[in-house]
Amino acid sequence: MSGTIARDFVGDRELLASLSPGGSPERPIKVTSAAVVEVRAAALACPLCNGEYRLHEHVAPASGLRRVDVTCRHCSTPRSLWFRLVSNEPN
Ligand SMILES: [Zn+2]
């Protein structure tokens, strides 16, 4: 096993994760209610090992923006998931 190759592989997966929806504040997952933020976060899988997340903190760093700090239950990789609250009220 080559550690260098493994690290590069993980780096690619991390890059992809940061570019996927919810992986950065520039690419938040849109939700219609703060009540579903943690449900959505819990439904996502670790991009490295496909494991489930353990949810830690749910914070609102800006108006309409939510961040959920998680770690993977399987490989213990920490991640922050980003959500944007959008109104979806019927007219
Ligand atoms: Zn994992």
CA–CA separation, 19 vs 21, rounded Å?
A: 7
What residues are neighbours of ligand 1 (ion), with CB under 5 Å? 46, 48-49, 51, 72, 74-75
- How far is the centre of ligand 1, averaged over its atoms, from the C-alpha of 52 (Å)? 7
pLDDT recorded at residue 77: 93
For the chain, domain boundaries: 3-85
CA distances from 7 to 3, 18, 59, 68, 72 (A): 6, 16, 31, 26, 18
Is residue 68 very low, low, confident or very high in pLDDT (cuts 50, 70, 90)? very high
**DSSP letter, residue 34:** G
Q: Rounded to two decimals, what is the model's pTM?
A: 0.79
Q: Which of 15-19, 52-56, 76-80 has the lowest mean pLDDT?
A: 15-19
CA–CA separation, 12 vs 15, rounded Å?
A: 5
- How far is the centre of ligand 1, averaged over its atoms, from the C-alpha of 75 (Å)? 4
**pLDDT per residue over 18-40, tens digit each?**
778 899 999 999 999 999 999 99
- How far is the centre of ligand 1, averaged over its atoms, from the C-alpha of 88 (Å)? 33
